[in-house]
């Protein structure tokens, strides 16, 4: 009997490549989101530092121009934090969509793997039947022709 070969092996290989590509896209999106979260964390630290500096300068006294400048920096940092929040939110939505794509790709690969398993089980069954038939024929021939 010839060696087992899954009839949809090329399709399975193609689907596995798609799944891997989609998983890589998901990983890339997650890495980008993590970078944005770190950037936001740095902005929050800078905001805290600027606020502390503003309070310190207020206590010792500062000119109106210095006050406007400090408030401008603080306002700029707050705007940057809001922008980062928006970027993080957009990335979260992209990640959720990509998770659905990866799940679907995984499901397609699993379906093909189950089909391959079923075909392999059928192959093994036919192989056993062929072996049994060969043994029956061999035994029958030995009886018929004698030793």
Question: Tens of pLDDT along 48-70?
Answer: 999 999 999 999 988 889 999 99
Distance CA 12, CA 119 (A): 14
pTM of the model: 0.75
Give the whole-number percent of the chain exceeding pLDDT 70. Answer: 97
* Under-70 pLDDT residues of the chain: 1, 146-147
Cα→Cα distances 42→28, 35, 46, Å: 21, 11, 6
Distance CA 82, CA 44 (A): 11
Question: Tens of pLDDT along 98-107?
Answer: 999 999 999 9
């Amino acid at each position: 009997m010839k060696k087992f070969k899954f009839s949809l092996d090329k399709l399975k290989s193609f689907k596995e490549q798609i799944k891997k590509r989609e998983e890589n896209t998901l990983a890339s999106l997650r890495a980008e989101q993590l970078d944005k979260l770190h950037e936001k964390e740095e902005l929050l630290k800078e905001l805290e530092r600027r606020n502390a500096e503003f309070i310190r300068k207020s206590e010792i006294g500062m000119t109106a121009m210095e006050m406007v400048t400090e408030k401008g920096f603080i306002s700029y940092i707050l705007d940057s934090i809001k922008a980062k929040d928006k970027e993080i939110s957009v990335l979260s939505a992209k990640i959720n969509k990509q998770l659905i794509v990866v799940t679907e790709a995984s499901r397609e690969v699993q379906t093909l793997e189950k089909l391959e398993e079923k075909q392999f089980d059928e192959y093994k069954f036919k192989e056993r039947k062929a072996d049994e038939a060969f043994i029956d024929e061999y035994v029958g021939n030995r009886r018929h022709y004698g030793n």
